Structure 1
């Protein structure tokens, strides 16, 4: 064992990790992997290699990859390492209670995790391996983190990653900001490609057979708020998401992408004009309506992490416009519950359709504490026009004798309205298990009482939100994109969250199972043959192929086989993932196909 330590230490000391997170991190990770897997050499068979296998790359091989990349290889270090007295089974030199206390205070905010090349961000996919909320004596291990990550700056880095993973039978993970409720951006025993720092942006004049006009081209790592601000500086808007730190070109758009401008222009996937990416055979391709059109279709809603590694995205840009917002707060005091849900029913049936038909995007929340609209955002409308659309609801609340708070405001640009909302928004992550169900307009308006009964059942136990839109206004044919067509007939997507308990891993699993087997089924019973929104799906979703992708799944699988014939790319619930399984120690193995 001592000889092993010195052999690894000597090898790592020669590696030019120019962009690594520190020599100590590199050393302890490599040594820990060696300690953990010594003596487990085996033939991998239909499985991906893991540390300890004879086929796992040697230290010299990793060093050669790092040299080829110009020092962009990062050895994973759990961000909660300062919270534990041991790290990878050894005494922990970075243990620091003060740093740990600061980390805990900021743990639930995306910014805490964005700077990490390996943080799962979503606790369910951490394997509880290095938990900052456990006692210092609790072990801190590499768990489900990648072994190494490439801090990519261009397509050449992507190509090196694909070729290396294929040559050495190593699991490859695509990571951008890390936002992903389904655990696609992390994976045990993997090499990860990290695209976060690819931040180029430009406005271009685009022309092809489908569109002529202004467009925004963004690098893979550009976040929604960065795209919004850059577009606004040019007098433009682009269709992005609610959360400012989600990457526009990543799984957000590749999974469909709804957001504040959806009722005016459609989904983010509907706006795509061009992708640049590296395929599973390491080829750099440009895809559009006229080039590699099958892959162009697949990437527009067929899910991220499985067809290729996107380096850039070009989307339609539209003239900026005034934007109004409105909010409602209605508290459940324990004696007015029936009246609250009577108001919810009236809102869904009588007010919500008119709002989204006028171009508003409405996020509403139901929970044990009551009901909120937070917010209704209406690009192109004045606050007076938005007030008129909201009036049926506010009058209904008054007639029911309910106390409520209502406010509205008008802003000169979309960005100014969005940034005003950010001042009061708390974009937490990592504190809920998440799943969703799409609710057809017909169900919402014609069988409202049945729907509200199910919503009340869920909201009496946990938090849920309704993300509401009218996608017909985008004038997009459902056949031109891979998004499940079911979303086009939906009035809203119900997103349900069950709380995570960081001090009780089994209890968190129970909460996840309640979501899968109790709460979401109450909506599934009302929507037989229905669907879920890909980006907020339950990673345990039964029959995910149909529920997420609908009848598009077979065509998507054929396209994946064409551009990724060796199955280099795998991600949970992604197209083709049903042919693989992770065993108890995280090893990825082929099970069919």
Structure 2
């Protein structure tokens, strides 16, 4: 169903969900066709901050939001679903509904993490914004990985990521190019916080024997940070790729579990074409007591320090066999991290297409309630998609294109 042309953005300094009697909060209301980049531009012009992802061409009200929605600022400000205040949606019975904390509360809960394209066609969403521009201090660096330095680099990450999360850092960590940003610390505090990393980067040498340099930057807004540091996030290359993911909990970073985490990272990195360790979880975010348990994403998000991804690719002119090998490689590469994190989960929007135990992995103990809501609003399964809540399985026509 085409919703790309539903494009509008409205700002309210004191938005109150329809049917509620409560104090208003600053919020953006936007049509389903609005992309994240447009919201960033609008927010910049109005001196506010919309908490969104790094890819600005992604629709803000669709799967990104309804599946969870992570951001480089999620550690401080929460996931996209944490900031959702209201949806206008047409359910499969053809009825237009408003879903928020005061009406259609079950549907509102399901839309806050149950996945896109599942419970209805969202026409409009409203998200709470930060009523000012969020300034950050950031560190970016590049590294030429080698068997000699990769263990040392990963050791630094394992030893420090829990503390970094507690101190407000968010970002994207890879063996080649990385970015960390913090909206809480000043320059002196940030330098002290990341000193184990910057000392390492000063001393490590790449394969050509040259020192690897880190660059500190300060940004006045989220848009400025993303424009300067992740300018290529929306770029499309000539090949094709797939991924698998795992949420890495706090417990994995403390001895003796940290040794197993380091070993698993090295195995994953050596198997995958690429790997990311993304500090985009809501680890330090503390929602109001009234909001506890009000989203349907897997609870594993709340205690996770990393959202880890492994990826594999194939060329555009390859056949089905090469594609199958890539899918198998990405899944195989994440297996060491799955093995050391029993009971955790994965981010449905960036998961293994063939995720084992997908229901438990994507939603944890929320799945039975989500399934009941699916049966209430879509008993005939009109909206069906791969590994979505209540999906009909591999025998359905939609599954025929899967390898």
Fold in common (TM above 0.5)? yes
Cα distance between partner residues in 1 of 2:292 and 2:386: 25
Query: Which of 9, 30, 34 lines up with 1:218 in the alignment?
Result: 30
2:245 alignment counterpart: 436
Query: Which of 506, 511, 514 lines up with 2:329 in the alignment?
Result: 514
- Per-residue displacement from partner, 1:215-235 (whole Å, max 9, x unpaired)? 100100111111111112111
Q: CA deviation at 1:530?
A: 2.0
- Per-residue displacement from partner, 1:196-216 (whole Å, max 9, x unpaired)? 121110002212467622110
* Alignment partner of 1:303 is 2:108: no
1:540 alignment counterpart: 354
* Alignment partner of 1:468 is 2:279: yes
Q: Pairwise CA RMSD of aligned residues?
A: 2.3
- Per-residue displacement from partner, 1:478-499 (whole Å, max 9, x unpaired)? 5110010011110011111101
Instruction: Map 1:207-356 to 2 at 5 A.
Output: 207=16, 208=20, 212-318=24-130, 319-332=132-145, 334=146, 337-350=147-160, 352-356=161-165
1:372 alignment counterpart: 177
Cα distance between partner residues in 1 of 2:363 and 2:312: 24
Cα distance between partner residues in 2 of 1:210 and 1:392: 46
Cα distance between partner residues in 1 of 2:365 and 2:188: 43
Q: CA deviation at 1:415?
A: 1.9
Cα distance between partner residues in 1 of 2:27 and 2:134: 17
Cα distance between partner residues in 2 of 1:257 and 1:197: 22
Q: Kindly indicate whether the alpha-carbon contact (under 8 Å) linking 2:165 and 2:283 is maintained by their aligned counterparts in 1.
A: no
Give the secondary structure class of the aligned counterpart of 1:243. Answer: coil
Cα distance between partner residues in 1 of 2:394 and 2:333: 27
- Per-residue displacement from partner, 1:9-61 (whole Å, max 9, x unpaired)? xxxxxxxxxxxxxxxxxxxxxxxxxxxxxxxxxxxxxxxxxxxxxxxxxxxxx
With over 3 angstroms needed to count, the CA separation of the structure-2 counterparts of 1:405 and 1:424, relative to structure 1, is farther
Cα distance between partner residues in 1 of 2:358 and 2:230: 33
Q: Kindly indicate whether the alpha-carbon contact (under 8 Å) linking 2:62 and 2:122 is maintained by their aligned counterparts in 1.
A: yes
Q: Which moved more, 1:500-509 or 1:206-215?
A: 206-215
1:183 alignment counterpart: none
Give the secondary structure class of the aligned counterpart of 2:315. Answer: coil
Query: Which of 539, 558, 578 lines up with 2:372 in the alignment?
Result: 558
Q: What is the total number of aligned residue pairs between the two structures? A: 386
With over 3 angstroms needed to count, the CA separation of the structure-2 counterparts of 1:422 and 1:372, relative to structure 1, is closer
Q: Which runs of 5+ in 1 are unaligned?
A: 1-192, 589-593
Q: CA deviation at 1:514?
A: 2.5
Q: CA deviation at 1:470?
A: 5.1
Q: Which moved more, 1:258-267 or 1:284-293?
A: 258-267
Give the secondary structure class of the aligned counterpart of 2:87. Answer: strand
1:87 alignment counterpart: none
Q: Which runs of 5+ in 2 are unaligned?
A: none
Q: CA deviation at 1:442?
A: 1.2
Cα distance between partner residues in 1 of 2:49 and 2:142: 29
With over 3 angstroms needed to count, the CA separation of the structure-2 counterparts of 1:354 and 1:237, relative to structure 1, is same
Q: Which has the larger radius of gyration?
A: 1
1:416 alignment counterpart: 224
Q: CA deviation at 1:399?
A: 5.8
Q: Kindly indicate whether the alpha-carbon contact (under 8 Å) linking 2:55 and 2:234 is maintained by their aligned counterparts in 1.
A: no
